[in-house]
Chain A
Amino acid sequence: MNLTLLLQLSISGFLLGGVYSLIALGLSLIFGVMRVINFAHGEMMVWGMYVAYTILVWTGVDPFFSFIVSAVILFILGYILQRTVVNRILDFPEAMQVLPLVGMAMVFENSARIIWGPDYISPQSRFALHSLSLGDIIIDTPRFLAFSLAIIITIIVLLFLKNTDMGKSIRAAADNRTGALLVGTNVNKVYAICFGIGTACVGAAGGLLVPIMPLSPHIGAPFTLISFIIVILGGMGSLAGAMVGGFIIGVAESIGPELITNLFHGIGLDLEFPHTMKQVVSFFILIVIMILRPQGLFGGKKG
């Protein structure tokens, strides 16, 4: 097996993992506070991507700056969604909470398709073809930038939760809804803002992904699934878990297909495990983790 290739793939997966972490952070935040799974997460990310893309086409501003606009717009969308739909389903049985959000996922996916068309687009942003080289290892500049910015955003969100009044209210509402109500927190507002922050995270991540991968209205669902996998791997509601899970899944998806192909060849099978099947690696990890450690790597109590 080629070690340089493996290292190369690991690094590129690790960098993408930083963005995955940010996506999963949003999902985990929403789940941790409201106990609701945002099944429209990936589709909302696609909206973030299209916002950044539209800004790039109209004004030429690079997605590495305009991701902020994506985050703001997605914050507003998330806030409205929480107020109109999510807030009404909080007390539903868990299973019935899934369906309205799946419905919203369809709305986001197909409205994006109507607005921006069904085709794949790879916008040419400024750093698109740049790369840095470290010895034998080549690092994509856009990937590295996306990674750095994602980490910075993640740290800002964590600091916000830790230090500001709103952040403290969010954590209070997550810990004990009734308690927070009793001490006079406006829980509905806190929930809506928290949902907004969760979707703003995924919107920013979408903006950061524009220079890295082609966008189409239909790439959302895999990202929804990947962020679930990360959150379950890390532990539902655990923010640290979401970050570590992001890196694990990023690297696993990147080197998994290569390793499995080598394994096939090693045992004498003439089979390839193509990169387009990398999600199978994640799903496999999901199934194993759900069965062996359903509380996730960092989860305290079960489920």
Chain B
Amino acid sequence: MKRLTIFLLIVFLILLVLPKFLGSYWLGIFIMIFFYAYLGQSWNILTGYTGVISLGHSLYVGIGAYMTFLLTLTLGLSPWMGMWIGGIAAGLIGLVIGFFGFRFGLKGVYFVLLTISFAEIGRLIVLHLKVFGSFQGLFITPQFSFANFQFRENTPYYYIALGYVIFSLIVVRIMERSKIGRYMVALREDEDAAESLGVNVFRYKMIAIFISAFMTSLAGAFYTNYLYYLHPGTMMSMAFSIEIILRPIIGGMGTVLGPVIGSFLITPLAELSRTYFAKAGYEGLHLVIYGFLLVAVVLFFPRGVISYIKKAIAPVLGSLK
């Protein structure tokens, strides 16, 4: 345990000084690693810990991105403030979805469909609203300053994204060790047994979906201010939801480090292969590979890569717990 802490601290220190040695392109890749690790972690809170599968998390990213943007546009509110309001809005929508899903006992595939339905309704509504640029999407003219969350260089984004990841790790770690986290795992493993022992299943699922939606939407603010372009077709689509869930599944759901490991494995591959295949004229080939990966991981390593890493490093770093 202690050796693991030291190891993680060393990794953290390396990540802190890394921008000194990396060019802008590689910084961009690291930013995407952190971005997806954070998103995966947020999804992990709901699906990894309570076992309720959501395939509609892109909805919360969209709410976060558009709320932050809209608050800046109309009230001149800094994204640093707006993102929390967006988070609460997404959390409330999450509670609505959760209420319908959990109150009426929708399980498994039914709940998956409910989340997809809400995400698709959200996407279609945004797609038809003129405020949001309708079918063309929305280009944002950056005004570089800290208060605007917009920077000329990649380095500040790097540190912000790293901050996001650290924040999510802390939240999930605290949650996991608290009563709430234990109740969540209990109801994931056996809902009826947990309920019969007095765990209020409905309440803890609602807490999980609120936290998960809230955190996911914070990433929306980052997305807006990093890419300067918003379009529901990319950011609120089901494909994006799949991007979100891929990394924690590969890394290992229901673990603190799983989503991060998954993102470190997949994101560089994804980014490099995407540019490589697009140049070679096979745009979309990386998604075919993703698809096969998803199949293979669920068939052959349903518990994620982390269970193998745990075994491999146990002699050196002590057991990962």
Contacts and interface: CB of A to CB of B under 8 A. Distances in A.
A90 to B, nearest CB: 12
B51 interface: yes
Contacts of B288: 106-107, 110-111, 114
A185 interface: no
Given A94-B107, A96-B302, A100-B299, A287 B100 contact: yes
Nearest to B242: A102
B295 A283 contact: no
Interface size class of chain B, counting residues whose CB lies under 8 Å from the partner chain: 35 or more
Contacts of A99: 245, 249, 294, 298
Interface stretch (A54-62, A128-136, A273-281): A273-281
A118 B283 contact: yes
B109 A98 contact: yes
A106 B287 contact: yes
A279 B118 CA distance: 11
Interface in A70-110: 85, 88-89, 92-100, 102-110
- Interface residues of B: mostly helix, strand, loop or mixed? helix
A113 B55 contact: no
A43 B112 CA distance: 18
A100 to B, nearest CB: 4
A103 B293 contact: yes
Given A225-B116, A228-B113, A303 B290 contact: no
A113 B285 CA distance: 9
B107 A290 contact: no
A123 B124 CA distance: 27
Nearest to A81: B295
A221 B108 CA distance: 19
A279 B123 CA distance: 11
Contact of B284 (A37, A100, A113, A225): A113
A106 B242 contact: yes
A95 B121 contact: no
Interface residues of A, number: 44
B210 to A, nearest CB: 20
A195 B105 CA distance: 29
B106 interface: yes
Contacts of B285: 110, 114
A286 interface: yes
Contacts of A104: 291, 295
Interface in B272-321: 282-285, 287-288, 290-295, 298-299, 302
A284 B120 CA distance: 11
A107 B291 contact: yes
A303 B110 CA distance: 9
B108 A102 contact: no
A232 interface: yes
Contacts of A93: 108
A37 to B, nearest CB: 5
A85 B112 contact: no
A185 to B, nearest CB: 25
A100 B124 contact: no
Nearest to A96: B298
B197 to A, nearest CB: 21
A279 to B, nearest CB: 6
Nearest to B237: A221
B98 to A, nearest CB: 13
A106 B294 CA distance: 10
A141 B155 CA distance: 61
Nearest to A109: B287
B53 to A, nearest CB: 5
A291 interface: yes
B299 A106 contact: no
B104 A103 contact: no
Contact of A290 (B110, B121, B299): B110
9 contacts: A94-B108, A95-B108, A95-B109, A98-B55, A106-B291, A228-B113, A232-B113, A290-B110, A303-B107
Interface of A: 37, 85, 88-89, 92-100, 102-111, 113-114, 118, 217, 221, 225, 228, 232, 274, 276-277, 279-280, 283-284, 286-287, 290-291, 294, 303
Given A93-B108, A94-B108, 5 more contacts: A98-B108, A99-B298, A107-B292, A277-B125, A287-B117
Interface of B: 51-53, 55, 100, 104-110, 112-114, 116-118, 120-121, 124-125, 127-128, 238-239, 242, 245, 249, 282-285, 287-288, 290-295, 298-299, 302
